[in-house]
Amino acid sequence: MHDAHASRAGETSVPLAASAVLVNKVGLHARPSVKLTQCAKGFAAKIELALAADGPWTDAKSPVKVMRVKAPQGATLHFRVAGPDGEAALAAMLALVHDGFGEA
């Protein structure tokens, strides 16, 4: 479900981007927000998310800011990452969203 046009830059300074659709029942609510931010904090890369490809961008490591996005079910989440472990971070974010945050 994510865009294949993700930038394939070898250099760490160039941001990577991809998007995924929220499939879990109530959108990016409390539990998913906590899961997503906890996962994001495991990476050194700067990770941001948005409801549109051109932002506004939100720090994916802050549960307070992620909750402010109030992303509903069916929304497309755009990610933008930059940093040494950016590729792994982006893959982990997309996997979480595809997986519906592990909720039935």
CB of 4 to another protein, least distance (A): 31
Taking the least distance from each CB to another protein, the nearer of 16 and 51 is: 51
Decide: is 21 part of the binding site for another protein (CB under 8 A). no
Q: Are 29 and 37 in contact (CB under 8 A)?
A: no
Active site residues: 29
CB of 72 to another protein, least distance (A): 6
Q: Using CB under 8 A, pick the residue from 14, 21, 30, 95 that binds another protein.
A: 30
SS (H, E, C) 57-81: CEECCCHHHHHHHCCCCCCEEEEEE
Nearest Cα to Cα of residue 29 among 90, 93, 59, 73: 73
